[in-house]
Every structure is written in C-alpha cells, then in structure tokens.
Amino acid sequence: MAKLECMVASPEGPIFEGEASAVVVPAADGELGIFPRHAPLVAALGCGELRIAVAGGEKKRYFLSGGFVQVLGERVTVLATEAEPVEELERGAVDAELADLAQQKPAPGSPLGDLEAYQQRVRKVKVRKKLAG
C-alpha cells in the first residue's frame, strides 16, 4: 500500500514527521483529505483539526491555525502558524481563556479591525475547546 511522507512544523519547531496513509487538514475553505497519489497542490490553512492516519490504524490529532499545506509527489508538508497536539489541550485552561476573552470584548463602536481580531481569537479558542472535549 502506498504511503505519504508527512511533515508538520510550526514556528516553535517540528511537530510530526513520519509515514501516513491519509492526512486531513483544515483548509481555509473547508477540510481537505490527502491520500497517496494526490495531485500536487498548495493551499492556505484555516483553523481546525489536523488528522494524520499512521501505521496500525492509529490517528494523530492536532489543533491547527493558519499556515499552508503543500502536496508534492508522495510528500505532504504542513507549515502551521499555530499547532498543538490535541492530547495536550487542557479543557480548564481553554475555558479560562474563553472567560478572559468574554471580559475583553470590544466596546460598541470599536474599529472594525479590533472586532474582527477579537472574533477570530474567539473562533480559535472555541475550536480548541471542542477538540479538548
């Protein structure tokens, strides 16, 4: 059976490197499934869950936000702005972060850029909360 070489990295360093039978990334416009012999592509990443199917049916799961994915030949390269293993997400910390954000909500009449940045932060924390279980 054909395999993909998969590499995931963030500004903090490498996150995962190994063989995979399938990779599902949160593209900017929806989930993108990548299997062996996939057509070459480059796509922007959104915010969501990265799933990597590795040997023996095991799945690696990561919270991902921003960046790019490249598929070239049998190699998938994920360069993420933010990446964190799902098993390291702590529900209590995510809940506290969401509560803090509720206190920081921009006042009515704030500049549109401030409101959009706030909404993006809230979306990221909500995705992290969902993945934390």
- Residue 12 belongs to domain with CATH number: 2.60.15.10
Residue 1, pLDDT above cutoff 70: no
Judged by phi (left if over 0) then psi (alpha if -120 to 50, else beta), residue 67 lies in left
Same domain for 67 and 97, yes or no, is no
Other beta carbons less than 10 A from residue 52's beta carbon:
24
Nearest CA-CA partner of 78 in 27, 7, 26: 7
> Given pLDDT bands bounded at 50, 70 and 90, which one contains residue 38?
very high
Cα gap 108→19, rounded to integer Å: 50
What is the DSSP code string of 102-118? Answer: HHTPPPTT--HHHHHHH
Same domain for 13 and 51, yes or no, is yes
Other beta carbons less than 10 A from residue 32's beta carbon:
18
Other beta carbons less than 10 A from residue 127's beta carbon:
19
pLDDT given for residue 68 in this prediction: 97
Domain residue limits at 103: 90-132
Cα gap 86→130, rounded to integer Å: 10
> Number of structural domains, the chain?
2
pLDDT (mean) for 23-44: 95
Same domain for 55 and 9, yes or no, is yes
Structure tokens at 86: 């799902």
Same domain for 50 and 11, yes or no, is yes
pLDDT digits (tens, 9 = 90+) for 56-104: 789 999 999 999 999 999 999 999 999 999 999 888 888 898 888 888 8
Q: Are 45 and 80 in contact (CB under 8 A)?
A: yes
Q: Are 115 and 106 in contact (CB under 8 A)?
A: yes
pLDDT (mean) for 17-29: 95
pLDDT given for residue 26 in this prediction: 96
